[in-house]
Amino acid sequence: MQYTSELESTIQDMGQKGRGVLAADESAPTIVKRFKAIGVESNEENRRAWRSLLVTTTGLGEYINGIILFEETLSQKTDNDNTIPSAAWAQGIVPGIKVDKGKIPLALSAGDLITQGLDGLAERLCDYRQQGARFAKWREVYAIDKHVPSKHGIEANAEMLARYAAVCQEQGLVPIVEPEVLMDGDHEIDRHAEVTEAVQHAVFHALRRHHVQLELMILKPNMVLPGKDCRRADADEVAAATLKVLRRCVPAAVPSINFLSGGQGPEEATVNLNALNQQAPDAPWRLTISYGRALQQPAIQAWQGKKENEALAQQALLKRARLNSLAQLGQYHPDMESSDA
């Protein structure tokens, strides 16, 4: 493979214990919702200001080793006139890019979804690489209901993820493979585990068919959780269920499992990550994060779109990143939430 050394370098730069990925790749509809909640218009300048604030947080690179960006962000600049990707890398944070084009219904498969974006992907990746991106991310989404996801839906989504990952490695970008089984609904944790296991099995079979090198990719899965409308599970139950699925499905060759937060609150996501690392200190993969809202929510609430609140927002982001770093080491305790240190 042409870019093996570059891919290995990216994996190494994103592989340190105690560091994880910040997802700042919100699509246009999602960032509108986030900004609307704080009374801020989602225009290009406000999006630039927010993402500039993220990458210029002093000390963030101690806890974060990668950032997923939205397409427009690659060419935007910080207040200091550096490109956002170069400002991230100045802190040792590897810039990456979301490359899927969003989900649509899967034809003739009621309730199943499929993600668009494979057309022209190789050419887009070449452009993104020239703009500083070193990894990419693609998300497939699986809703849970009585008859979904179907076997056909699971296999179709796995094929999309594998095709994307193969193109990424061919073009010199590390693929983050994100199969997200949603926690929407009233299903029990056992049902979420059953679907997550079926999804991950299909994904890794497809990755092998497409000759994807597992050592040169990152998995971004959901934790195994009960549905939002079901009873809550404690962190030890979540960790045990999640690890059971991972041990059955994910080869040891995969270097890093970077969990999505998937609707969990900031503290809940940290507590569950900590339990995972406490229960599996010798896991063959790094168990870390690729959190979006669970890292950003306290910061965006502190920011409120105001220049004078930037320092407070950066403090909130840094605190959340530090607590998740401790959780990756199994050293987090909820009492730390009340500390300003």
244 included as an active-site residue: no
Name the active-site residue from 98, 137, 220, 319.
220
Going from the C-alpha of 82 to that of each of 48, 73, 90, 98, the distances in angstroms are 12, 12, 10, 21
237 included as an active-site residue: no
Name the active-site residue from 26, 140, 159, 178.
178
Q: Which residues are catalytic?
A: 178, 220
